[in-house]
Chains A and B, each alone.
Chain A
């Protein structure tokens, strides 16, 4: 029997998330040039093709899987997280791992225990640490300086000509998180580090703008009920509390809460990555634990771990605990007795 249903569909939910990424992408392109857009343009067709091929190999119809828009979304999320001038073939390796290994090998949409985009990201990070930590120095109208143009970006990404009009070494730099870590290793204090990396701006010039634009997208997602508030709020609050705590104790060694909230992939992770319904906890209490643990892990890895940013690792680690969290946070059902 055909039941009456609400008009939300998987594809529509995915489309809302994609729409929410738009401000973030605009900021990325204005500050770092069109690298993210070029990557997205490469990865979206590759993602859809890979998905269709695997499904075809499993002798199923690929049409619904293509129509649900989850593969393009994965590509867009990954592209937003990659350094803007990453060579094209690395981007393809990343998306192939994300779609084939992290998603389709587990059975496709809904069956994957780990967030595909983050698996792709981490695989690239461990395989090509050099390229994956070479970011551009923020530039553009907002933060001053000239952005790298489309032609130059494409030249570097595709490596088409022998001597691109600009050299990678000339424009690349570490991300603020990376630079801050380096500064701390050098024995500088946080405030000195901030001066060094960003002319005194909060969390590294350009980066706070990118994080704020992702925050805007995230607020739209919560307002449109595409995601629930639990995970992002608990994650950001946990990150805020723990960073405030350490910052109060030793402001020279530990960065300010605002710095942590507005740098690296914090906002992208909080609203777009951690909230991936397939891999996140689903019980209300579980979501709060899930988010809070991610927040604490991000802080831990950023402060004491080997990699500068930690959103991907934290999310993947918590993905692993999702079934356990769900098991222990079953909500009280209607009519359940307290001692039952």
Chain B
């Protein structure tokens, strides 16, 4: 009987000690902020398009890290982003919810534009230039192709044009594409 008690006491004492240590550690080394959200945000393409159902890339990143939102909701990022997210978060890759969208730019039909400035307000990255009652134009290098300016335009003068590949940004194709499927 005494050996039982000794065993119980020894183990109990050790457990008390380690429990206290763990309790202390959990209070003392609590991680402030959320570095994983930053990392997710880093991967997202920053189009701020909201096609994921969240009002921008940062909110989507927060939703992924905090609410466990799905990682396949970003059409502009496509499969690349999904796979990077899967790698980062150690989740299973899942097929995209929507079809991947080719990169495109907003183009304002300058003949139709009435200069209402509604699109300027909608643009999340200030890529549209113009003033009230004057024709607007899109700064091509800054447009993220988010399509947020399409809806507010009262005269439907904005269209999305896919970005054509030209010689300067052309790169060699995947050689496996030509591999004869034997």
A residues contacting B by CB (< 8 A) are 60-61, 64
Closest to B182 in A: A61
**Can you spell out 3 A-B residue pairs with CB atoms less than 8 angstroms apart?**
A60-B182, A61-B182, A64-B182
Interface of chain A, main secondary structure:
loop
A133 to chain B, nearest CB (A): 43
* Chain A residues, CB < 8 A from B182: 60-61, 64
A31 to chain B, nearest CB (A): 44
* Chain B residues, CB < 8 A from A61: 182
- Give the docked Cα–Cα distance between A60 and B181 (Å): 8
- Give the docked Cα–Cα distance between A60 and B182 (Å): 6
B172 to chain A, nearest CB (A): 12
Closest to B181 in A: A60
- Give the docked Cα–Cα distance between A61 and B180 (Å): 11
A262 to chain B, nearest CB (A): 45
- Give the docked Cα–Cα distance between A61 and B182 (Å): 5
Closest to A61 in B: B182
Q: How many residues of B contact A (CB 8 A)?
A: 1
- B170-182: contact bitstring with A at CB < 8 Å (1 yes, 0 no)? 0000000000001
B59 to chain A, nearest CB (A): 41
B121 to chain A, nearest CB (A): 50
Closest to A64 in B: B182
* Chain B residues, CB < 8 A from A64: 182
B131 to chain A, nearest CB (A): 53
Q: In residues 141-182 of chain B, which contact A (Cβ within 8 Å)? A: 182
- Give the docked Cα–Cα distance between A119 and B182 (Å): 29
B179 to chain A, nearest CB (A): 12
Closest 3 CB pairs of A and B: A61-B182, A60-B182, A64-B182
- Give the docked Cα–Cα distance between A64 and B182 (Å): 10
- Give the docked Cα–Cα distance between A61 and B179 (Å): 13
B115 to chain A, nearest CB (A): 52
A149 to chain B, nearest CB (A): 46
Closest to A60 in B: B182
B132 to chain A, nearest CB (A): 56
Closest to A55 in B: B182
* Chain B residues, CB < 8 A from A60: 182
Q: In residues 34-89 of chain B, which contact A (Cβ within 8 Å)? A: none
- Give the docked Cα–Cα distance between A153 and B182 (Å): 42
Closest to A65 in B: B182
Closest to B180 in A: A61
B138 to chain A, nearest CB (A): 39
Closest to A62 in B: B182
- Give the docked Cα–Cα distance between A105 and B182 (Å): 18
Q: In residues 101-160 of chain B, which contact A (Cβ within 8 Å)? A: none
A64 to chain B, nearest CB (A): 7
A66 to chain B, nearest CB (A): 13
A51 to chain B, nearest CB (A): 15
B90 to chain A, nearest CB (A): 22
A187 to chain B, nearest CB (A): 50
- Give the docked Cα–Cα distance between A60 and B180 (Å): 11
A68 to chain B, nearest CB (A): 13
- Give the docked Cα–Cα distance between A329 and B182 (Å): 36
A63 to chain B, nearest CB (A): 8
A61 to chain B, nearest CB (A): 4
A109 to chain B, nearest CB (A): 14
Closest to A63 in B: B182
